[in-house]
């Protein structure tokens, strides 16, 4: 294992022979805190979770340093190749050590330093706060990137509904509104005690927000439903 990173179609080892100076990771996101001082009183008011009911996060920012083995390519050619492909671009990045998830954001080439033995290149990142499942819940999941210790199988595709059927959907840390696709119109779905009308085709019910853990969607009608567009997001 080279502890590489895949940026869309390019892999840091396979395509550029970059070796990380330490095992690469994306720094944790800072919490969006909101404190209000109390004039004439003790302490402060902590309104960090007042609006959303949960902590909100800033982007993950930081840098990853790589060694470049001299002799693989002329350094001017390789430097230009990485700059053209990566610098200032918004894309997905997948860690070889955590292949079931991707990070998405903007990447920049910070610096390139060379000496007689090797060169060093630093890549800056500004990515979203959550790492997201490579597959959404309506796609066929793959064995290769699946982690049998921590992974969650989300597969809710073309579920037959005959009368009433409850689908137990596993949510993640990142709240999300699922995309519900019905084969026929006239169906309904009940979530947290509220019932919503569904039409034929794909739709998003904004009041249905899946939370971390098990969520129950109870469908009523006759047809098939797919619950998708909701790859999990973790910290």
Same domain assignment for residues 28 and 110: yes
Higher pLDDT, 69 or 38: 38
pLDDT of amino acid 116:
72
- What does the radius of gyration of the chain's CA atoms come to, in whole angstroms? 23
CA-based end-to-end distance of the chain: 24
Same domain assignment for residues 174 and 58: no
**32, 78 in Cβ contact below 8 A?**
no
Please, what's the b/e burial string for 47-57 (b: 16 or more CB within 10 A of its CB; e: otherwise)?
Answer: eeeeeeeeeeb
* Residue range of the domain that includes 102: 5-129
Number of domains in the chain: 2
- pLDDT band for position 76 (cuts 50, 70, 90): confident
In a domain, 86, yes or no: yes
């Amino acid at each position: 294992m080279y502890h590489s990173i895949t940026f869309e179609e390019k892999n840091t080892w396979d395509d550029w022979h970059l070796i990380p100076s330490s095992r690469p990771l994306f720094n944790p996101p800072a919490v969006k805190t909101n404190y209000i001082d109390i004039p004439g009183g003790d302490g402060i008011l902590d309104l960090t979770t007042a609006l959303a009911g949960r902590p909100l996060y800033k982007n993950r920012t930081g840098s990853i340093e790589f060694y470049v083995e001299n002799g693989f390519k002329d350094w001017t050619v390789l430097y230009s190749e990485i700059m053209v492909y990566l610098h200032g671009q918004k894309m997905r990045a997948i860690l070889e050590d955590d292949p079931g998830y991707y990070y998405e954001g903007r990447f920049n080439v910070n610096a390139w330093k060379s000496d007689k033995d090797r060169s060093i290149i630093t890549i800056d990142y500004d990515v979203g706060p959550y790492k997201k499942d490579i597959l959404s819940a309506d796609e066929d999941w793959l064995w290769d990137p699946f982690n049998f210790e921590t992974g969650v199988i989300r597969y809710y595709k073309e579920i037959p509904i005959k009368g009433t059927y409850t689908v137990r959907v596993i949510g993640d840390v990142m709240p999300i509104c699922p995309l519900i696709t019905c084969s026929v119109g006239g169906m309904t779905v009940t979530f947290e005690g509220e019932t919503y009308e569904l039409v034929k085709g794909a739709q998003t019910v904004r009041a249905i927000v899946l939370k971390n853990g098990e969520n129950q969607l109870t469908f009523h009608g006759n047809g098939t439903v797919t619950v998708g567009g909701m790859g999990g997001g973790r910290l």
